Amino acid sequence: MCWLPPLFLGDTVTIGEISYKLKTPQNPELVPVKHISDSLPQTVAQHLRWIMQKDVLGQDVFLIGPPGPLRRSIAMQYLELTKREVEYVALSRDTTETDLKQRREIRSGTAFYIDQCAVRAATQGRVLVLEGLEKAERNVLPVLNNLLENREMQLEDGRFLMSAERYDKLLQEHTKEELDSWKIVRVSEDFRVIALGLPVPKYKGNPLDPPLRSRFQARDIYYLPFKVIFIYILCVRVSQLLSLATTLCSQESSNLGLPDFPVDNLLPALHVLNAFPMLSSQHLVQRLYPYNSILGKDGRTAVEGVLSRFELLDGRQSASTQRILFHNCYRKMKLLVGLFQLFPLSIKLQVPAGTKEPRPPNSSPNFISTPSHAQLLSEMMQSHMVKDICLIGAKGCGKSVLAREFAEMLGYSIEPVMLYQDMTARDLLQQRYTLSNGDTAWRPSPLVTAAIEGKLLLLDGIHRVNLGTLAVLSRLLHDRELDLYDGTRLLRWDRYQTLKEQLQFSDEQLQERSIFPIHPSFRVLALAEPPVVGASTSSSSNSRGQQWLGPELLTMFLYHTVTPLAKGEEMGLIQGLTPNVPMEAAEQLLHLTHSLRKTNDPTAQSLASSLSTRQLLRICRRLSQYPKESIAHAVNKACLSRFLPSLARASLEKSLANCMVKDGVLTIGNVSAPIYNPNEKMKVPDVLFYDNPQHMMVMEDMLKDFLLGEHLLLVGNQGVGKNKIVDRFLHLLNRPREYLQLHRDTTVQTLTLQPSVRDGIITYEDSPLVKAVKLGHILVIDEADKAPTNVTCILKTLVESGEMILADGRRIISAKGRPNVIVMHPDFRMLVLANRPGFPFLGNDFFGALGDIFSCHAVDNPKPQAELAMLKQYGPDVPDATLQKLVAAFGELRSMADQGTITYPYSTREVVNIVKHLQKFPGEGLASVVRNVFDFDSYNKDMREVLIEALHKHGIPIGAKPSSVKLAKE
């Protein structure tokens, strides 16, 4: 191997025959540190030599290449080598002109401009590093065109940036005071731009605008050559892995639709292999390149063919179960030393740990260890040594529970961040807010505080967030560095310490310059649902149906898959967490669930997805309290099988006594609960409600889950009485209600805060959600299916862990903790109402996205006898014969809707309105009144004929025509 090291002669650095004269930096804290390794590979040195050539020529450069940190690393190495100050910005779809040029701030009621990265770099002679040009929206970057070409730019505050040559010429004829009065500012001759981007269209993103592209000199920074990486560790398995990586990055693999292998992750993977030489190569490849999750059958076959060719298909070898023992753990330089027990070997290794005392494995009463989970936690610990982790698994399979157990074992505090589709880069990093005096300020996000305090950042739902937004975390995940919108810089711990020693600065001095260290224990654990194999990777496609795991994300994490538990393991888990559950019922439930999971019938599989481990535990908790409940009823309730017309629906006949309140205790059916004594009685709903057995049965079911501490989801067609049932339920329990109506324009911010203007200042008031959490009221969320699922998904952490971050920076937690938090009242509950999924309802599939975190209840139209009894109470003077005609006709129409003959599901609400009209105006004929409902369909000929036939059949003469009158034969 031939090396080409840079030479330092006095104040000059030379690479090959190219020399650059060093200058003393004005702000040495902005010069990158600890990016250059002891020995530079020749390939890297050649790249650095080329950049130096362009620098000497005064040209801006564009480093283009596949995903990964290599391009950024080379740029930083060059800047460290030449002692250049850097202004770094990660571009995203949220980047605007103000992020590059100037941002307006308000101080003491006065607006003024603050220079941003491009202006600071130009005026101070720094190097502007722009990463991710393909992520920026079109027509944002052209604001830099004139700055790149002529070193000129007009600023919003009236100043004009001018190239050094023109400025110096003007200075010969005019004084500096005159130029200052004309607001002309000199652009330093040392100003340069280094752009980093991916080639589009091979990778996802916006292609470069031709005028912008023409202003850069390009350099292809491809993966380092095979021999350069091989020099690190010389062994057969490394050679095999490198051969695999090279093959999967080739043009032939790309033509087969295989994503690039994350070559940059090979080095951390080799550290794992070095510590665990008995580890299967195929299992290690799965962590780097989870091909079983991201590829279809043909792709998997192609990858396994390559694995077989390089003798890496060793995953079928018998591997003994790994266990983690921490009996002798101790701290050393913020690291926890633990003992890995891998039969028959014992391996000691150092892993990053949190600031709390670690808890021994399997000591939590809320976590029941199974062999597969113990194995997974052991593998996560191996990956945790070297890199951030992503857990991939179906909803409800235990990802969040495993993450919490992993954190507890290592003494980490968890910082949960719920991701959603419309999340912006500002939501991830820093948010603008207004102080009480009207001044603007920046608030760091939980992600930033987690990095500084050394927490475990839990990114829940990376399959939902837009890749262009997630890309702003690339530098944090690869290099542990981050530049924030207010100018704050976060540095990796060792680089911060090196900078401190080189400059002889104290922590306070560096913090005055807005430089903070990232805690060495900080780690990121991402949770995601499996990619949809063969689905679109378009950013505009539905987040639940896209192939989100592409080449760029592959470089950010090591991946672990949470597989569904085996039947025996799931039984052990259920027995451990619900010891009183009847064994026979639990076995029946598991037999049904696992037979559904193994079937090839897609309809049955969709039903099985609703019977996740989380949902099975919920059912078993109910069964342990109410052992006489029917398994069929519990399964139908959990899966909302009432709204799956292609499945056979189990019917349940159960007579219930009317609800009764006696001695401060409410009894519905066989379930009793104490009556609540509220402080705000005016918020207890009181609604006209006529009892019927079917609705009482729903309320009994609701009360069972309510007493178990569950949050409830009621799903049903329109007009079946969901709101009335909930209001009656809360009235009987005497519980105050907060009401929240969702709609298409509901955002994450409006869910938590309500903005208002007072005395010219924007203030935020608590939303009904926050009020309910504070006061222990019941939050009724209506029309949940109308809001985008990427907005309502933030309710997941509130339901699961009792935590939620509000738009103003406050945090809801379940127990008392640090300041600026809202402690969740123990009486708080959520009752969510949604229409059934699918046509003709125009909402989103709330049940499909979040159904399994709630206890679900299907609400249907009352049965004929119950409906007739209820209608008699609404219309006591309406003849029984008329009511029976209506009940029979509407019953047949609903049956036709279930069968798909008609699309509109006629509901009890429509019948009630007809009866109310007949009660008030008894002189009007039935045929005239029913038109109030059926005139909607009067313009659809086919639909009208079906309706007329059905109504005539039950003696309702609507729309009679000569052609439809048939005379009897003599």
Q: Three-class SS of residue 543?
A: helix
The whole-angstrom separation of Cα 385 and Cα 41 is 26
803-813 pLDDT per residue, tens? 888 777 788 88
The whole-angstrom separation of Cα 227 and Cα 546 is 37
Residue 82 — very low, low, confident or very high, per pLDDT cuts 50/70/90? very high
Instruction: Indicate whether 205 pLDDT > 70.
Output: yes
User: How many Cβ atoms from other residues are within 10 Å of residue 355's Cβ?
Assistant: 13
Q: Which residue has the higher pLDDT, 838 or 184?
A: 184
Start-to-end CA span in the chain (Å): 110
The whole-angstrom separation of Cα 61 and Cα 73 is 15
- For residue 332, give the H/E element and its range: strand 322-332
> Average pLDDT for residues 711-728, to the nearest whole number?
87
Q: What is the model's pLDDT at position 110? A: 85
Question: 192: which strand partners?
Answer: 127
The whole-angstrom separation of Cα 542 and Cα 521 is 35
User: Encoding tokens for residue 543?
Assistant: 């987040």
Question: 672: which strand partners?
Answer: 667
For tokens 């991701």, the residue is: 419
Q: What is the model's pLDDT at position 333? A: 58
The whole-angstrom separation of Cα 43 and Cα 784 is 56
The answer to whether residues 910 and 933 touch, using CB atoms and an 8 Å cutoff, is yes
User: How many Cβ atoms from other residues are within 10 Å of residue 763's Cβ?
Assistant: 14
User: Mutual orientation of helices 371-384 and 266-275 as an angle, nearest 10°?
Assistant: 120
Cα angle vertex 342, ends 338, 343, to 5°? 140
The whole-angstrom separation of Cα 487 and Cα 116 is 8
Q: Which class in CATH covers the domain with range 656-859?
A: alpha beta
The whole-angstrom separation of Cα 516 and Cα 507 is 8
The whole-angstrom separation of Cα 413 and Cα 751 is 26
According to CATH, the topology of domain 374-533+549-561 is Rossmann fold (3.40.50)
> Average pLDDT for residues 622-637, to the nearest whole number?
78
Instruction: Indicate whether 653 pLDDT > 70.
Output: no
Task: Sort 192 into a burial class: Cβ within 10 Å, 0-12 / 13-18 / 19+.
Answer: buried
Q: What is the model's pLDDT at position 50? A: 93
Residue 78 — very low, low, confident or very high, per pLDDT cuts 50/70/90? very high
Asked whether the CA dihedral 536, 539, 545, 548 is positive or negative, the reply is: positive
> Average pLDDT for residues 470-483, to the nearest whole number?
92
The whole-angstrom separation of Cα 376 and Cα 287 is 12
> Average pLDDT for residues 253-273, to the nearest whole number?
84
Distance of CA 426 to the CA centre of its chain: 15
280-292 pLDDT per residue, tens? 888 889 999 998 8
The answer to whether residues 565 and 617 touch, using CB atoms and an 8 Å cutoff, is no
Pairing mode of beta strands 778-782, 804-805? unpaired
Nearby residues of 928 by Cβ (< 8 Å), 6 or more positions away = none
Instruction: Indicate whether 544 pLDDT > 60.
Output: no
> Average pLDDT for residues 552-559, to the nearest whole number?
93
Instruction: Indicate whether 606 pLDDT > 70.
Output: no
DSSP letter for 28, please. Answer: G
The answer to whether residues 19 and 81 touch, using CB atoms and an 8 Å cutoff, is no
18-53 pLDDT per residue, tens? 899 999 999 999 999 999 877 778 888 899 999 999
Q: What is the model's pLDDT at position 970? A: 41
The answer to whether residues 833 and 842 touch, using CB atoms and an 8 Å cutoff, is no
User: How many Cβ atoms from other residues are within 10 Å of residue 662's Cβ?
Assistant: 9
Q: Three-class SS of residue 324?
A: strand
For residue 269, which of 244, 292, 305 has the smallest C-alpha distance?
Answer: 244
Q: Which residue has the higher pLDDT, 828 or 541?
A: 828
Residue 362 — very low, low, confident or very high, per pLDDT cuts 50/70/90? low
386-395 pLDDT per residue, tens? 999 999 998 8
> Average pLDDT for residues 560-581, to the nearest whole number?
85
Domains 374-533+549-561 and 656-859 share a fold: yes
Spans of all domains in the chain: 7-220, 228-310, 374-533+549-561, 564-643, 656-859, 864-954
Q: Which class in CATH covers the domain with range 7-220?
A: alpha beta
Q: What is the model's pLDDT at position 321? A: 55
Q: What percent of the chain has pLDDT over 90?
A: 24
383-419 pLDDT per residue, tens? 998 999 999 998 888 888 899 999 988 889 999 998 8
Among 345-354, 652-661, 694-703, 850-859, the least confident range: 652-661
Q: What is the model's pLDDT at position 223? A: 79
For tokens 């091979």, the residue is: 202
DSSP letter for 158, please. Answer: S
Q: Where are the beta strands (DSSP E) in 503-652?
A: 515-518, 523-528, 558-561
The whole-angstrom separation of Cα 67 and Cα 258 is 14
User: Encoding tokens for residue 111?
Assistant: 């607006």
Among 4-8, 569-573, 864-868, the least confident range: 4-8
Mean pLDDT taken over the chain: 82
> Average pLDDT for residues 778-784, to the nearest whole number?
89
The answer to whether residues 91 and 135 touch, using CB atoms and an 8 Å cutoff, is yes
Residue 119 — very low, low, confident or very high, per pLDDT cuts 50/70/90? very high
Q: What is the model's pLDDT at position 192? A: 95
User: How many Cβ atoms from other residues are within 10 Å of residue 432's Cβ?
Assistant: 13
The answer to whether residues 727 and 695 touch, using CB atoms and an 8 Å cutoff, is no
Instruction: Indicate whether 716 pLDDT > 60.
Output: yes
Q: What is the model's pLDDT at position 230? A: 55
User: Mutual orientation of helices 567-577 and 583-598 as an angle, nearest 10°?
Assistant: 140
